[in-house]
Chain A
Amino acid sequence: MKISAEFLGIRAPNPEIKPYALKGASVKLIYTDSLVVGAGLAGLRVAIASKERGLDTVVLSLIPAKRSHSAAAQGGMQASLGNTIKGMGDDEDVHFQDTVKGSDWGCDQDVARMFAHCAPKAVRELTNWGVPWTRVTKGPRQVVVNAEKVTIEEAEEAHGLINARDFGGTKKWRTCYTADGTGHSLLYAVDNKAISLGIPVHERVEALSIIHDGKRCQGVVARCLITGELRAYIAKSTTIATGGYGRIYEVSTNAIICEGIGQALALETGVAKLGNMEAVQFHPTAIVPVGILTTEGCRGDGGLLRDKDGHRFMPDYEPEKKELASRDVVSRRMTEHMRKGKGVDSPYGPHLWLDITLLGRKHVETNLREVKEICENFLGIDPAKDWIPVRPTQHYSMGGIRTDKTGQNPQLKGLFSVGEAACWDMHGFNRLGGNSLAETVVGGMIIGKYVADFCQENSLEIDTKLAESFVEKLGSEIDELIDGDGTESPFALRKEMERVMMDYVGIFRNGPELEKAVTELQALLKRSRNIGLKCKKRHANPELVEALRVKRMLKVALTVACGAAARTESRGAHAREDFPQRNDKDWLNRTLASWPDEHALSPELSYEQLDVMKMELPPGYRGYGINNAIAHPDTEKREHEITEILSQLGDDADRHQRQHALMPFEVPESLMPKNERLCDTLDRPTPPVVGEESVGEQAL
């Protein structure tokens, strides 16, 4: 084949832009009001909120916005609409309770309330932006519940309203969805909205440090991945929405860009703190070996887990919730079962089977098509006929940049964070399926308004010297990597780190292994200061990108390992074999990690207490296994107080009044109104069959 540039009609990217190479070159400064780092759902939603207030808004993204990892969320988002018959009787209260219990009481209950209150609004807003939510069809419909075909009858009045499916850890069918491409549909609708508003997304740009003076965040320094140019983006508010840090693990369901660079940005300020970094969720059903997720919808729709004998083992461990127990629980039960030798042997280690054959081909080919495609393309099997090899795999980062209720970091004014990148803290130590996608758009909706408020109330702080010093610092870091005499390979360091995290900071953890992880990661961090590159390009250079990232990822990994080593209890996804009890007495708190000395080899940990006396739902039994939690001394006191408050209210108080009396919460004014539901307008009473008692399968 003849190959020449003219023949290929190649157009080079803008050749005038020179990478940061010439010393003394002027630094490119870009000013805006609201800067958002990350163009996934959460980031875009905040950008839209800013733009709608007339603020100048710029979004930075590693990749085109529509490629963001939000698109991979297949299953759906939780919102208590209560349209389907199996969701009737659902409301914010039930959603709130599920979320708090799911978090193993680790979450911020105020935030969980704000979230549950706004979730239905976000779903309805997205409808107007183009999401083709799957709708309810009136009349009888066959579903699979507990491995049996059951016919449910949808209400006439619900016809055409937004449907919901069952997900783990929820009392009601609450997960709104569009077939199995919910994240895709949402991301496309929200990005389309952003395009319609003319919000610029600077694609293929990587933020690598935050410009700050120790108190105020003034923007970021970013590197163009095409030209290598370094730019300082100066903004009133900087919102980090870069997603999770799953890729510090060897096998993860996350996209390969979920590398925790957003968390590292905050960490490297030395001031901003990260919350609950040790809270890492493992999803029960990722395919073996590549770790691609098959949605929780598989089990929600009736799929089963089987062992090497074809035995359905989950009822043995969790007789009530079975496959639909909370994710952390199912993942641990699966690991336990495989440790008993019940796993199926494969060249990649043991796995179990996910069986969705009983759902029927039609269901698989319409509602679970992504799953079908994944099985065909990556495993070469037909899931309507064959069982799918699965095992628990790193999936979600509950931890992240610590923020207050408005999404702002308490340490650095003007630094906001939202979505998986943040520890806003509605997930505590375990996230419910369907609550992450919901957090992106609900959190984005709420925090977006606070960000816009902030931008309107504050002026731009411009300190070009400061900005330039941060650009120069990054510039010399790059110089050092390219021109220095380092010898370490960034790829090798990365592999080592992934292995350490996988082996010692996994589903089950224990003291000695965590200590080992910390020591090994520290050794890697030291080595990472001696990286040398083979590829010396200053513009598009994948090795340079890898080097800049791995140095940062190692610090993030250390916050996870150190946090896990210090937390001597088991809570949610953090399961210590040597401390199997949840210990509310000593550990009802949030781990905070910061990195004040950049030359140090470990983060500084501190703790933020959760106040039981302010909780609407004091710590209790989560409903799995034996109830062995060590109670907090305030728990009983608060329970009495709650009973008293409620009894004083009298019988005619409605649920809103009762809730308000226990734990008043605030969201931006425009989001305060109550949510209307079908049952409010139905003139006949809600059918009694949907109560928790009658459908034992769904009851917590």
Chain B
Amino acid sequence: MAITKINNKAGEASKLKSWSEGKNWSGKLDISQSVSGVILALFLWTHLVLVSSILLGGDAMTWVAGVMELNFLSPDGHGYPWVVSLIAIGVAALALVHVVVAITKLPMNLRQQLALKKQMSVINHGDTKLWVWQALTGIAILFLLPVHLWLIGAAPETIGPAGSADRIWNDGVWLLYLPLLVCVELHAAIGVYRVAIKWGAARDINTRARMKRVKTVISVVFVLIGIASLLAFLPYA
């Protein structure tokens, strides 16, 4: 009998080689996409909670901004605004990793785009539509986020009730922030939901349905908090 055996046949090695090409890369890339995505999402939510301190009043936000700039370490109590710049650079770096990997998964050529279009026109499937939303918001974020990071990273010392309000409402940056807010909140919640399932957090279909509901709630709640915060800056502008 001549069964080919994978584990102990030299002849198989060459065949397997084509399979193993780039094996470490694809695995590591996939993991890094998940990890960077989760960190970015956690940062995003924390960030929004911190910004929403404006809802508690200008003093609250000043205090938060101060803490973020590590003012408790500096003798003069003014802190180090460059810490915020560092954070911005860190976020940019993470986002870059995230984008580079994500881009390999998007339909890059016409054939792939046609295939996707055809499949979606024939087959009606919710999670695939979600993914398309995620991809579209991702692309939007790709353009919006650098602007935001540059604005903040370049002028970290202006963060505060008055400075931020000035930027948002007088400089018209709300035109950037509003779409960015909606995009990131959709993108992050869908992404975290997908990462959780991807690595096996949902043991059964019911868990998944619950997770999906939680995901939607998170998106909605954070978008509302974000809009409220933006509005809360109005009096300071």
**A interface residues with partner B (beta carbon < 8 Å):** 1-2, 6-9, 52, 196-197
Contact = CB atoms under 8 A, between A and B. Distances in A.
A196 B121 contact: no
Interface of B: 1-4, 114-115, 118, 121
Contacts of B121: 1-2
A7 B118 contact: yes
A419 to B, nearest CB: 23
A11 to B, nearest CB: 13
Nearest to A54: B2
Contacts of A2: 121
B115 A196 contact: no
Nearest to B2: A197
A196 B3 contact: yes
Nearest to A193: B3
Contacts of A6: 114
Contacts of A52: 1
Contacts of A9: 114-115, 118
A2 B3 CA distance: 48
Nearest to A8: B118
A196 B4 contact: yes
B3 A7 contact: no
B114 A7 contact: yes
Given A7-B118, A9-B115, A196-B3, 11 more contacts: A1-B121, A2-B121, A6-B114, A7-B114, A8-B118, A9-B114, A9-B118, A52-B1, A196-B4, A197-B2, A197-B3
A639 B30 CA distance: 77
Nearest to A6: B114
A196 B6 CA distance: 12
A521 to B, nearest CB: 45
Q: Which 6 A-B pairs have the closest CB atoms?
A: A196-B3, A52-B1, A7-B118, A1-B121, A8-B118, A9-B115
Nearest to B121: A1
A2 B114 CA distance: 12
B5 to A, nearest CB: 10
14 contacts: A1-B121, A2-B121, A6-B114, A7-B114, A7-B118, A8-B118, A9-B114, A9-B115, A9-B118, A52-B1, A196-B3, A196-B4, A197-B2, A197-B3
Nearest to A2: B121
Contacts of A7: 114, 118
Interface of A is mostly: helix
Contacts of B2: 197
B12 to A, nearest CB: 13
Contacts of A8: 118
A665 B4 CA distance: 36
A196 B2 CA distance: 9
Contacts of A1: 121
Contacts of B118: 7-9
B206 to A, nearest CB: 17
Nearest to B119: A9
A365 to B, nearest CB: 15
A574 B4 CA distance: 49
Nearest to A52: B1
A429 B3 CA distance: 40
A46 to B, nearest CB: 16
Contacts of B4: 196
A197 B114 CA distance: 38
Nearest to B3: A196
Contacts of B1: 52
A196 B9 CA distance: 15
A196 B4 CA distance: 7
A1 B119 CA distance: 12
B116 to A, nearest CB: 11
A54 to B, nearest CB: 9
Contacts of A196: 3-4
A197 B3 CA distance: 6
B9 to A, nearest CB: 13
A647 B135 CA distance: 86
Interface centre among B2, B3, B4, B115 (most CB of A within 10 A): B2
Contacts of B3: 196-197
Nearest to A53: B1
A2 B121 CA distance: 9
A7 B118 CA distance: 7
Nearest to A1: B121
A7 to B, nearest CB: 6
A196 B3 CA distance: 6
A401 to B, nearest CB: 29
Contacts of B114: 6-7, 9
A9 B121 CA distance: 13
B212 to A, nearest CB: 25
A97 to B, nearest CB: 35
A52 B114 CA distance: 46
Contacts of B115: 9
B172 to A, nearest CB: 41
A410 B115 CA distance: 56
A1 B4 CA distance: 47
B113 to A, nearest CB: 12
A457 B114 CA distance: 57
A196 to B, nearest CB: 6
A223 B4 CA distance: 33
A1 B1 CA distance: 53
A2 B122 CA distance: 10
A420 to B, nearest CB: 27
A7 B121 CA distance: 11
A197 B1 CA distance: 9
A446 to B, nearest CB: 18
Nearest to B115: A9
A56 to B, nearest CB: 14
A52 B3 CA distance: 10
B8 to A, nearest CB: 15
B2 to A, nearest CB: 7
A324 B121 CA distance: 52
A192 B118 CA distance: 33
A8 B1 CA distance: 43
A6 B114 CA distance: 9
Interface centre among B3, B115, B118 (most CB of A within 10 A): B118
Nearest to A7: B118
B109 to A, nearest CB: 13
A52 B1 CA distance: 6
A52 B4 CA distance: 13
A3 to B, nearest CB: 9
B148 to A, nearest CB: 39
A9 B118 CA distance: 9
A9 B113 CA distance: 12
B207 to A, nearest CB: 20
A152 to B, nearest CB: 33
A2 B2 CA distance: 50
A45 to B, nearest CB: 14
A197 B2 CA distance: 7
A196 B115 CA distance: 32
